Structure 1
Amino acid sequence: MIKYSCIYLHRKINLFRKISLHCFYNLINHFKQTRFLRSCHFHQMRAINFIAFEHKLDEKKQNQKSKANQSNA
């Protein structure tokens, strides 16, 4: 398995915005469970958590937009 660095994950934030929140968290949890990620530095883990937080906000906005569109239809 290829071990991705946290920096690589951080750069791929645009990719994460295109996948569902469920898939995203599965991916993050998968990386957290590997020994590689457990040995990451604190600031790299903060980068991971920041991506997760941003993704959650995006997901909320998308849900609000779809609800607004449904009520307008």
Structure 2
Amino acid sequence: MQETFNKYINYLEVERNVSRYTVRNYTTDLLDFFHFLKTKGISSLKEVDRHILRDYLSYLLEEGFVKASIAR
């Protein structure tokens, strides 16, 4: 997952030329998601399915994230 993460962050910085704040926010979001996956025993993005994504969205709502933040 780390290699995919690094490639995506590089894509945001180089090809999309997004602001450093956007990169920071996406980095935080992805690291949180990867931590969630680890707690579920998932070590590969290939294991992620719609059920895992729903669980993650439910987790974010339970943690008090607003829908606008979740949509990001």
More relative contact order, 1 or 2 (CA 8 Å, 6+ apart): 1
Per residue, is there more helix in 1 or in 2?
A: 1
Larger radius of gyration: 1
TM-score (norm 1): 0.39
Please report the TM-score for the alignment, with normalisation by the length of structure 2. 0.39
